């Protein structure tokens, strides 16, 4: 018998700290699989954010640097400008990328910075215990939207992929989900394409991954996947938002 | 012929693999817990496994190895 | 010997950085240091370097953080309000033990304040900026030639001690033209940057640049280790100029451009029979305490002259430990203390005022 | 000095502002009315405006941004700037900011300037790293011309190391400026310097010598 599925080489052999059923783990594995398949672990430098994935530096075997909350695209820019032949990626949550780091994200895209961003959107602040995120859905109850997010007073959820797709510098932007096997397979394909975009020197690439937070959503991991499917995907439609890689 | 191997100590008992299995052969081990205190999953009817790796695809913790 | 040329402080700093091997500059425009950015914008593309105008000071400083982690000699420059924004990254850079050079061409504050010269960021530079237990080496040149030496040394010090180094000046120094030689002076031996995140090339374990330490005991140990390094720096890197101090019985102390004005006052005071001398800290951190201590039983009083409401004066008092009275004279808001004002202030202290 | 409007451009540190001030004073000897305009939108320090009092005492009108020398760095032009073109009885010196970014400001007056005619003096200090030889001087001169959309009519050798300048330094600079003149066809109009440095050069350069008094000091040795 041949082994057809195993832990990817680029993923460290450690226990991930995430809550049971948190889909961060799936995305970590997908990134590692892509590092393996493109054979770029040795030339990759990852930027770990502040947020639930703050320990990401312990999980991939490539070199890793920390960033302050929201600043990962700026830190990645600094690294990439020093090492233009290396592969530089960030792994950021929604608070990090779409709230405190919006400026860094938008301008990295505008510059066509040749980096790859893996953006985890789970519609809530996980690390700090379930507060309203920039991507929290209308009506969604969180610690800081206890009566449900009311766009009239708390603003609308931000659709980063749509927004960034309008920037001239963005070469490839796709929104994917990890709620089911089919979507996980598609997510990996997107992540691989994003890294390939960088390897080809085509500019800014980002994959937005709709992800779950069972603990702060107050749902079992299986219920969380269903909630994602029924609530998040309608608001955040999956698909390719820009693809200039063929140009 | 196919089989799956669970690294039980890494399992956090989220059971996403169970929902992904098209043959519905993954079950919760009723007789034991791992060191983390979770009840790991197991396959009792391994002969029904088709080695599709859907369980492993959904596992957030790289618990599952698949052979075919 | 290098050729003499006439350059502005800001240009001297930019060119000295380039000569010191800096090829990565990240910045954001703010008066009165924008010439550094403008100079880099012109020069860097011609020498294969990177000039990047960031979306904010916050981003610029975090780009420096990234570039420093990747092993480069990275520079950012700004003026007071911009340094407040860079504080976040400085804390991370210090917490990750990375080297970088940051320039503050100080303007008057607080708030938007004004663009005229000031020294009111002394607290920020030596005791403030970002959060947490950490220090930065702070260098305060007072001439364009010294700008060149200290810029070169700033990069060496940063690499050697793996910490951020600040060069602090004011608009006068930045705009001042002086004939100089681009001679970088004595350079230091720098160990290879084996810690940098340059890609493992599958030849080593991964490098992790990180300031997050879970266990309080581990974090404490890490900070204590860093402070041992700070102690070594205090012992070995504190610098000050002693001017006419051999026979002085009155000490004026001032740094940067203010020290130059103080020298004018000292010349006049000496004509009037008051043996005044000057101690000019070149490193604001580490503060050159021992140099002050040499004079505690030789001078009758010390006058700290600053373009602030009195910031360095606290360090002078700490250095002399109450053994000599320490007085203060300062102007703020973008005003420069004139020699006459300093002389009057000294005469008031020595009892010679009319 | 045949034209009414005299534009002074050059790299900052060339001695351009000192030259402009001295040039205005020189014009005052032969003209009843002289105006000097501080058009520096680049540099917040060491500007014509700093010597306003001295110039006004000598009967020279000074036009400067209301923000010059203040704590705010808005590069606003003075509201009465158009007096330069309206009052045809007055000789005018325009002190322009210290590089091609500063020269941009001239572009907005190009039409008036071209209609009436102008003299544009390009001040060179060969001890400045970016204008150290004919090639770099020419490159910089062309950048200034492109930004201002005006043509240089004369070169001013103002090579100096400030107070340390010697006659030898002036001669060294003059070589670069003469080479620039030969390459560009733009004549050398003046050789400017502190009187000490110009001593002994009369025989060689005669009327081109332009002694400079330094006004932009701070009232104490710095």
**Contact with chain B for residue A147, Cβ under 8 A:** no
% of chain D with per-residue pLDDT over 70: 90
Chain A residues lying within 8 Å of B60, measured CB to CB: 16, 18, 21-26, 29
What domains appear along chain D, each with residue ranges and CATH number? 5-211 (3.40.50.300)
Residue D28's pLDDT is what? 95
- Closest-CA distance of chain C to residue A43, Å: 4
Per-residue pLDDT tens listing for chain C (354 residues): 468 999 999 999 999 999 999 999 999 999 889 889 999 999 999 999 999 999 999 999 999 999 999 999 999 999 999 999 999 999 999 999 999 999 999 999 999 999 999 999 999 999 988 999 999 999 999 999 999 999 999 999 999 999 999 999 998 899 888 999 999 988 999 999 999 999 999 999 999 999 999 999 999 999 999 999 999 999 999 999 999 999 999 999 999 999 999 999 999 999 999 999 999 999 999 999 999 999 999 999 999 999 999 999 999 999 999 999 999 999 999 999 999 999 999 999 998 665
Structure tokens given for C125:
């530079």
| Sign of the C-alpha dihedral computed for residues C61, C67, C70 and C73 taken in this order | negative
Residue D218's pLDDT is what? 58
**Contact with chain C for residue A10, Cβ under 8 A:** no
Together in a domain, C249 and C232: no
Could you give the C-alpha distances from C68 to A105, C34, C65, C256, D118, in angstroms and in order? 20, 22, 5, 28, 51
| Helix%, strand%, coil% for chain D, nearest 5 | 40, 20, 40
Cis check for the bond before C110: say yes or no (omega within 30 of 0). Answer: yes
Strands (E) across chain C are located at 4-8, 24-27, 50-53, 74-78, 100-108, 114-117, 137-139, 164-170, 177-181, 208-209, 240-243, 250-253, 276-281, 283-285, 301-306, 326-330
Cα–Cα distance between C252 and C31 in angstroms, integer?
30
Evaluate whether D11 touches D130 at the Cβ level (below 8 Å): yes
Cα–Cα distance between D34 and D51 in angstroms, integer?
15
pLDDT at D11 exceeding the cut of 90? no
Q: Are strands C208-209 and A63-66 parallel, antiparallel or unpaired?
A: parallel
Q: How far is CA B27 from the centre of its chain?
A: 8
Cα–Cα distance between D77 and C182 in angstroms, integer?
37
Please count the CA atoms within 13 angstroms of the CA of C196 that sit on its side-chain side.
23
Chain A residues lying within 8 Å of C62, measured CB to CB: 67-68, 71, 74-75, 78, 104
Asked if C334 and D219 come within 8 Å (Cβ–Cβ), the reply is no
Q: Within a domain: residue C198?
A: no
List the chains bordering chain D where 3 or more Cβ pairs fall under 8 Å.
C
Cα–Cα distance between C24 and D222 in angstroms, integer?
33
Cα–Cα distance between C239 and C327 in angstroms, integer?
22
Cβ neighbours of B32 (radius 10 Å): 9
- Kindly give, in sequence order, each residue whose CB lies less than 8 Å from that of residue C22, ignoring residues fewer than 6 positions away: C49, C73, C74, C75, C101, C155
**Which helix (H) or strand (E) is C315 found in, with range?**
helix C312-320
pLDDT at D26 exceeding the cut of 80? yes
Asked if C15 and D160 come within 8 Å (Cβ–Cβ), the reply is no
- Closest-CA distance of chain A to residue C16, Å: 20
User: Could you give the angle at which helices C57-69 and C80-95 cross, rounded to 10 degrees?
Assistant: 30
Together in a domain, C290 and C178: no
Domain residue limits, chain A: 24-242
Together in a domain, C331 and C258: yes
Considering CB atoms only, which of B13, B53, B61 is closest to A5?
A: B53
Considering CB atoms only, which of A1, A11, A214 is closest to B3?
A: A1
Cis check for the bond before C286: say yes or no (omega within 30 of 0). Answer: yes
Q: Within a domain: residue C247?
A: yes
**Contact with chain B for residue A184, Cβ under 8 A:** yes
Q: Write down the mean pLDDT value for chain D.
A: 88
**Cβ within 8 Å of D, C 109-138:** 113-116
- Kindly give, in sequence order, each residue whose CB lies less than 8 Å from that of residue C242, ignoring residues fewer than 6 positions away: C277, C278, C279, C280, C291
Together in a domain, C139 and C288: no
Together in a domain, C168 and C112: yes
**Which residue in B11, B14, B36 has the most chain A C-beta atoms within 10 A of its own C-beta, making it the best mutation to test that interface?**
B14
Helix (H, G, I), strand (E, B) or coil at A92: strand
Cα–Cα distance between C199 and C182 in angstroms, integer?
35
Total CB pairs under 8 A between chain C and D: 66
**Which helix (H) or strand (E) is A176 found in, with range?**
strand A170-177
Overall number of domains in chain C: 2
Cα–Cα distance between C259 and B15 in angstroms, integer?
72
Q: Within a domain: residue C202?
A: no
Chain D residues lying within 8 Å of C11, measured CB to CB: 129
Cβ neighbours of C133 (radius 10 Å): 14
> pLDDT tens-digit profile of C328-350?
999 999 999 999 999 999 999 99
- Closest-CA distance of chain C to residue A17, Å: 13
How many residues make up chain D in this entry?
Answer: 222
CATH number at residue B46: 3.30.70.20
- Closest-CA distance of chain A to residue B24, Å: 15
Could you give the C-alpha distances from A89 to A75, A95, A201, in angstroms and in order? 10, 18, 14
Cα–Cα distance between C13 and B36 in angstroms, integer?
58
Phi, psi of D143 (to 5 degrees): -65, -40
Evaluate whether D48 touches D193 at the Cβ level (below 8 Å): no
Could you give the C-alpha distances from C199 to A227, C22, C93, C203, in angstroms and in order? 39, 21, 20, 9
pLDDT interval class at B1 (50, 70, 90): confident
- Kindly give, in sequence order, each residue whose CB lies less than 8 Å from that of residue D86, ignoring residues fewer than 6 positions away: none
Residue C200's pLDDT is what? 98
Considering CB atoms only, which of C8, C15, C114 is closest to D12?
A: C8
Structure tokens given for C161:
């001690």
Reference A82, options C310, C66, D202, B56; nearest CA is C66
3-state SS of A38-58 is CCCHHHEEEEECCCHHHHHHH
Structure tokens given for B21:
């299995």
pLDDT interval class at D163 (50, 70, 90): confident
Q: Within a domain: residue C200?
A: no
Together in a domain, C255 and C326: yes
Together in a domain, C229 and C335: no
**Contact with chain C for residue D70, Cβ under 8 A:** yes
Chain B residues lying within 8 Å of A26, measured CB to CB: 57-60
- For D126, the closest chain C residue by CA position comes to C5
Cα–Cα distance between A135 and A157 in angstroms, integer?
4
Residue D220's pLDDT is what? 53
Chain B residues lying within 8 Å of A177, measured CB to CB: none
> pLDDT tens-digit profile of B9-52?
999 999 999 999 999 999 999 999 999 899 999 999 999 999 99
Chain A residues lying within 8 Å of C69, measured CB to CB: 65, 75, 78-79
Together in a domain, C83 and C225: yes
Chain C residues lying within 8 Å of A80, measured CB to CB: 66
List the chains bordering chain C where 3 or more Cβ pairs fall under 8 Å.
A, D
Structure tokens given for C45:
């593309």
Structure tokens given for A156:
């609308």
Considering CB atoms only, which of C63, C70, C197 is closest to A74?
A: C63
Cβ neighbours of C84 (radius 10 Å): 18
Reference D32, options D87, D70, D79; nearest CA is D87
Give me the domain span that covers residue B26.
3-67
Q: Are strands B64-67 and C4-8 parallel, antiparallel or unpaired?
A: unpaired
Residue D221's pLDDT is what? 57
Asked if A3 and B67 come within 8 Å (Cβ–Cβ), the reply is yes
- For A179, the closest chain B residue by CA position comes to B58
In terms of C-beta density within 10 A (0-12 exposed, 13-18 middle, 19 or more buried), how is residue C213 classed? middle
Considering CB atoms only, which of B1, B38, B61 is closest to A16?
A: B61
CATH of domain A24-242: 3.40.50.970
**Which residue in D45, D126, D164 has the most chain C C-beta atoms within 10 A of its own C-beta, making it the best mutation to test that interface?**
D45
- For C210, the closest chain A residue by CA position comes to A66
Q: Kindly provide the ipTM of the predicted complex, given to two decimals.
A: 0.90
**Which residue in C2, C3, C5, C36 has the most chain D C-beta atoms within 10 A of its own C-beta, making it the best mutation to test that interface?**
C5
**Contact with chain D for residue C309, Cβ under 8 A:** no
pLDDT interval class at D44 (50, 70, 90): low
| Helix%, strand%, coil% for chain C, nearest 5 | 40, 20, 35
CATH number at residue C153: 3.40.50.970
Considering CB atoms only, which of A43, A62, A104 is closest to C55?
A: A104
Stretches where chain A sits below pLDDT 70 are: none
- How far apart, in Å, do the first and last CA atoms of chain C sit? 50
Chain C residues lying within 8 Å of A60, measured CB to CB: 206
| Sign of the C-alpha dihedral computed for residues C94, C99, C100 and C103 taken in this order | positive
CATH number at residue C292: 3.40.50.920
pLDDT at D47 exceeding the cut of 70? no
Chain D residues lying within 8 Å of C6, measured CB to CB: 13, 125, 127-128, 160-162
Give me the domain span that covers residue C17.
4-191+209-237
- Are D and B neighbours with ≥3 CB pairs closer than 8 A? no
Asked if A41 and C209 come within 8 Å (Cβ–Cβ), the reply is no
Considering CB atoms only, which of B14, B20, B67 is closest to A181?
A: B20
Q: Which residue has the higher pLDDT, D104 or D73?
A: D104
- Closest-CA distance of chain C to residue A45, Å: 6
Asked if B65 and A21 come within 8 Å (Cβ–Cβ), the reply is no
Largest Cα separation within chain B, whole Å, is 32
Total CB pairs under 8 A between chain A and C: 137
Evaluate whether D125 touches D17 at the Cβ level (below 8 Å): no
Asked if B60 and A25 come within 8 Å (Cβ–Cβ), the reply is yes
């Amino acid at each position: 018998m041949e082994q057809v599925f195993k832990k990817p080489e680029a993923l460290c052999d450690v226990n991930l700290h995430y809550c049971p059923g948190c889909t961060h783990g799936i995305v970590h594995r997908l990134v590692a699989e892509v590092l393996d398949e493109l054979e770029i672990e040795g030339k990759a430098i990852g930027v770990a954010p502040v947020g639930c994935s703050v320990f990401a530096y312990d999980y991939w075997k490539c070199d890793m640097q920390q960033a302050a909350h929201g600043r990962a695209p700026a830190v990645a820019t600094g690294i990439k400008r020093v090492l233009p032949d290396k592969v530089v990626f960030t792994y950021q949550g929604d608070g990090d990328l779409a709230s405190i780091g919006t400026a860094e994200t938008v301008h990295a895209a505008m510059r066509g910075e040749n980096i790859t961003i893996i953006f985890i959107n789970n519609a809530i602040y996980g690390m700090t215990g379930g507060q309203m995120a920039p991507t929290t859905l209308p009506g969604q109850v969180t610690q800081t939207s206890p009566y449900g997010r009311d766009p009239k007073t708390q603003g609308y959820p931000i659709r980063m992929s749509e927004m960034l797709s309008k920037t001239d510098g963005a070469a490839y932007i796709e929104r994917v989900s990890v709620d089911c096997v089919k979507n996980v397979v598609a997510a990996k394909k997107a992540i691989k394409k994003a890294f390939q975009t960088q390897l080809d020197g085509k500019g800014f690439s980002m994959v937005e991954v709709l992800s779950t937070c069972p603990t702060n959503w107050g749902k079992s991991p299986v219920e969380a996947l269903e909630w994602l499917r029924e609530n998040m995907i309608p608001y955040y439609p999956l698909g390719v938002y820009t693809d200039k890689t063929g140009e | 012929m196919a089989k799956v191997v669970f690294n039980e100590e890494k399992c956090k008992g989220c059971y996403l693999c169970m929902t992904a299995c098209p043959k519905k052969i993954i079950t919760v081990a009723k007789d034991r817990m791992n060191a983390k205190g979770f009840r790991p999953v197991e396959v009792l009817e391994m002969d029904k496994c088709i080695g599709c790796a859907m369980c492993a695809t959904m596992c957030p913790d790289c618990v599952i190895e698949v052979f075919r | 010997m290098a050729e003499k040329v006439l350059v502005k402080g800001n240009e001297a700093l930019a060119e000295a950085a380039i000569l010191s091997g800096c090829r990565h500059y990240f910045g954001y425009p703010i008066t009165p240091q924008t010439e550094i950015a403008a100079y880099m914008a012109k020069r860097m593309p011609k020498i294969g370097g990177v000039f990047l105008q960031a979306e904010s000071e916050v981003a610029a400083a975090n780009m420096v953080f990234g570039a420093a982690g990747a092993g480069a000699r990275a520079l950012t420059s700004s003026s007071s309000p911009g340094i407040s924004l860079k504080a976040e990254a400085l804390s991370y850079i210090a917490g990750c033990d990375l080297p970088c050079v940051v320039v503050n061409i100080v303007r008057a504050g607080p708030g938007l304040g004004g663009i005229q010269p000031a020294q009111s960021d002394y607290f920020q530079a030596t005791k403030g900026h970002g959060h947490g237990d950490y220090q930065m080496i702070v260098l305060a040149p007072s001439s364009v030639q010294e700008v060149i030496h200290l810029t070169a040394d700033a990069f060496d010090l940063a690499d050697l001690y793996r910490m951020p180094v600040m060069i602090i000046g004011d608009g006068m120094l930045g705009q001042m033209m002086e004939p100089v030689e681009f001679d970088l002076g004595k350079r230091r031996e720098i160990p290879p940057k084996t810690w940098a995140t340059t890609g493992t090339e599958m030849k080593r374990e991964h490098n992790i640049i990180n300031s997050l330490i879970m266990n309080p005991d581990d974090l404490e140990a890490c900070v204590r280790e860093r402070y041992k390094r700070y102690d070594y720096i205090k012992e070995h890197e504190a610098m000050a100029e002693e001017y006419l101090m051999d026979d002085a019985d009155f000490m004026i102390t001032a740094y940067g451009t203010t020290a130059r004005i103080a020298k004018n006052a000292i010349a006049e005071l000496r004509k009037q029979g008051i043996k005044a001398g000057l101690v000019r800290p070149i490193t604001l951190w580490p503060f050159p305490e021992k140099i002050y201590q040499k004079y505690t039983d030789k001078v009758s009083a010390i006058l700290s002259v600053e373009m602030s409401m009195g910031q360095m004066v606290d360090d002078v008092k700490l250095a002399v430990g109450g053994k000599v009275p320490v007085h203060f004279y300062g102007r703020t808001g973008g005003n420069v203390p004139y020699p006459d004002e300093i002389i009057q202030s000294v005469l008031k202290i020595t009892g010679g005022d009319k | 000095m045949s034209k009414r409007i005299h534009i002074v451009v050059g790299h900052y540190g060339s001695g351009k502002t000192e030259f402009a001030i001295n040039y205005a004073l020189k014009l005052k000897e032969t003209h009843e009315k002289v105006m000097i305009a501080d058009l520096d939108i680049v540099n917040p320090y060491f500007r014509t405006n700093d010597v306003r009092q001295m110039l006004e005492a000598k009967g020279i009108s000074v036009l400067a941004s209301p923000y010059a020398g203040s704590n705010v760095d808005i590069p606003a032009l003075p509201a009465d700037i158009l007096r330069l073109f309206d009052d045809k009885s007055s000789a005018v010196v325009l002190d322009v900011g210290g590089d091609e970014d500063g020269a941009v400001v001239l572009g907005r007056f190009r039409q008036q300037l071209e209609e009436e005619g102008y003299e544009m003096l390009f001040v060179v200090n060969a001890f400045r790293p970016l204008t150290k030889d004919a090639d770099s001087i020419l490159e910089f001169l062309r950048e200034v011309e492109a930004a201002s959309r005006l043509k240089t009519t004369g070169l001013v050798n103002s090579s100096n190391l400030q107070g340390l300048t010697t006659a030898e330094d002036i001669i060294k600079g003059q070589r670069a400026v003469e080479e620039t003149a030969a390459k560009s066809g733009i004549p050398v109009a003046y050789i400017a310097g502190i009187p000490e440095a110009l001593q002994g050069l009369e025989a060689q350069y005669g009327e081109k010598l332009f002694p400079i008094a330094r006004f932009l000091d701070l009232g104490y040795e710095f």
